[in-house]
């Protein structure tokens, strides 16, 4: 079966006592047992019952199982935000004295987590140009814990050749971890391009229109964790990798950033329309971005789906006709950007990606507003750039709003 079908028809692990067709919200902290012996089995992981909702919860587990079925991952683990998912993966794999090889083109909090938070614990950040495979290979050594990237960076809109990079990672024995938030697994099979671990902010497409925060870690079980100095010693649970065992048994429950059952239920519903919404929003994005190029005052439009974009060929080979519902464009100055944003009447002034409504933001003064100008330059976040997250509106209505705002 295709992912779209699996998403709709995966069954509950146990029958619901009322025959509910939608997964109920199991809003409970604890679960009761009949005997002390049954408690012991459940608490020591020898039987599958839930014991405490920070560790597992029926609604959250069902969400994980649907994602697993739809994505083809060996395991899917849910968190209460995309950042929690990223933090769990990096804390599970990195150690003091080790390093993380990544690009300076990162989501602001991810950059800060690697450049500052983890650095304070002795993990060295190594920022490189990941599109330069040779330079990247030269930065990977025996202390490299992971190579981390985003599949389409924003606002730079850079796409790295995953097959080439993953080959280097394989040779060096380092796992390739990718944040695939901007292209969902219904449209892009990251494992086919050598990604070992996928991270998704399910706050974005999956939540179904900004209903809730959430994060996912998808373990493709393609990396030999015997090659990881940190995870080599982990005794894996039956049917799980050393990596997902380390997260489920230790990091996830110790950090406590578990998904709530309300968020899980909202996101189960979001999953059911994911492929439809993605296709529609991406088509609109391509057309809108193309029409924006003709407007006076627009200096350039940045979308990897365009021929002539420096990453077009790589984008086409990885994402086909659907490289995400996000584009950026440049105006002459920061003042011109602010003026345009202030004049928008339909498009909303807000952060977030892949709401059902189209959103506009000036990244340099907001998401990246607390970094120094020097760091912003390292990250190539320009004061002239506006980022658009395209929603489900009619394309002409969106274009008309830009037209009147620029007039």
Ligand X SMILES: *Cc1c(COP(=O)(O)O)cnc(C)c1O
Binding site for ligand X (CB under 6 A): 81-83, 107, 110, 150, 179, 181-182, 201, 203-204, 213, 215, 353
List 101's β-bridge partners, or say none.
126, 147
Q: Which is nearer to ligand X, 257 or 347 (CB)?
A: 257
CB 387 → ligand X: shortest distance, Å? 11
Q: Which is nearer to ligand X, 107 or 127 (CB)?
A: 107
Q: Is the distance from CB of 277 to CB of 291 less than 8 angstroms?
A: no
CB 84 → ligand X: shortest distance, Å? 7
Beta strand 326-330 with 300-302 is antiparallel
Between CA 53 and CA 261 the distance in angstroms is: 9
Q: Which is nearer to ligand X, 81 or 385 (CB)?
A: 81
HSE at residue 127, side-chain half, CA atoms within 13 A, is 15
Q: Which is nearer to ligand X, 132 or 351 (CB)?
A: 351
Q: Which residue is nearest to ligand X (CB)?
A: 82
| CA proximity to 80, closest of 243, 267, 269, 278 | 267
Task: State whether residue 147 is helix, strand or coil.
Answer: strand
Burial 360-374 (b: 16+ CB within 10 A, else e): bbbbbeebbeebeee
CB 79 → ligand X: shortest distance, Å? 9
CB 153 → ligand X: shortest distance, Å? 8
CB 358 → ligand X: shortest distance, Å? 16
Q: Which is nearer to ligand X, 91 or 231 (CB)?
A: 91
Structure-token pair, residue 130: 């990941």
Q: Which is nearer to ligand X, 93 or 203 (CB)?
A: 203
Q: Which is nearer to ligand X, 108 or 297 (CB)?
A: 108
Task: State the DSSP code for 117.
Answer: I
Between CA 334 and CA 385 the distance in angstroms is: 8
CB 29 → ligand X: shortest distance, Å? 23
| CA proximity to 337, closest of 152, 182, 205, 155 | 155
Q: Which is nearer to ligand X, 191 or 213 (CB)?
A: 213
| CA proximity to 271, closest of 194, 183, 366, 206 | 206
Distances (CA, A) of 343 to 50, 329, 403, 405: 52, 16, 10, 5
HSE at residue 34, side-chain half, CA atoms within 13 A, is 1
Number of other CB atoms surrounding residue 132 within 10 Å: 12
Between CA 393 and CA 206 the distance in angstroms is: 18
Q: Which is nearer to ligand X, 169 or 213 (CB)?
A: 213
Task: State whether residue 193 is helix, strand or coil.
Answer: helix
- Quick one: which H or E segment has residue 99? strand 99-102
| CA proximity to 85, closest of 203, 229, 235, 208 | 203
Q: Which is nearer to ligand X, 240 or 311 (CB)?
A: 311
Task: State whether residue 192 is helix, strand or coil.
Answer: helix
Length of the chain: 407
CB 327 → ligand X: shortest distance, Å? 14
């Amino acid at each position: 079966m295709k992912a779209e079908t699996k998403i709709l028809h995966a069954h509950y692990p146990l029958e619901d006592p009322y025959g509910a067709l939608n997964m109920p919200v199991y809003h409970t902290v604890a679960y009761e047992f009949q005997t002390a012996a049954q408690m012991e089995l459940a608490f020591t992981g020898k039987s599958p019952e839930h014991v405490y909702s920070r560790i597992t919860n029926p609604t959250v587990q069902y969400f994980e199982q649907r994602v697993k079925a739809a994505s083809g991952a060996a395991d899917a683990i849910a968190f209460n935000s995309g950042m929690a998912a990223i933090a769990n993966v990096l804390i599970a794999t990195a150690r003091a004295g080790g390093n993380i090889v990544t690009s300076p083109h990162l989501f602001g909090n991810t950059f800060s987590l690697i450049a500052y938070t983890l650095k304070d614990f002795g993990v060295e950040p190594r920022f490189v140009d990941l599109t330069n495979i040779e330079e990247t290979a030269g930065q990977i050594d025996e202390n490299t814990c992971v190579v981390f990237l985003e599949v389409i960076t924003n606002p730079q809109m850079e796409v790295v050749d995953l097959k080439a990079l993953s080959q280097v990672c394989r040779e060096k024995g380092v796992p390739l971890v990718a944040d695939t938030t901007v292209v969902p697994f219904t449209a892009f099979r990251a494992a086919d391009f050598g990604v070992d671990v996928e991270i998704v902010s399910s706050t974005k497409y999956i939540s179904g229109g900004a209903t809730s925060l959430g994060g996912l870690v998808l373990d493709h079980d393609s990396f030999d964790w015997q090659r990881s100095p940190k995870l080599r010693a982990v005794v894996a649970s039956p049917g799980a990798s050393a990596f997902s065992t380390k997260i489920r048994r230790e990091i996830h429950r110790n950090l406590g950033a578990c998904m709530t059952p309300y968020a899980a239920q909202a996101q189960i519903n979001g999953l059911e329309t994911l492929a439809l919404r993605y296709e529609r929003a991406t088509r609109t994005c391509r057309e809108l971005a193309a029409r924006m190029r003709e407007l006076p005052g627009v200096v350039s439009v940045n979308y990897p789906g365009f021929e002539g974009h420096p990453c077009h060929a790589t984008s086409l080979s990885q994402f086909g006709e659907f490289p995400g519902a996000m584009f950026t464009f440049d105006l002459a100055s920061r003042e011109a950007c602010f003026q345009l944003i202030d004049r928008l009447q339909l498009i909303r002034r807000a952060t977030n990606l892949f709401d059902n409504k189209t959103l506009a933001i000036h990244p340099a003064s907001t998401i990246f507003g607390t970094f120094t100008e020097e760091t912003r330059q390292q990250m190539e976040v320009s004061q002239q750039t506006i980022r658009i997250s395209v929603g489900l509106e009619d394309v002409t209505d969106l274009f008309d709003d830009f037209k009147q705002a620029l007039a």
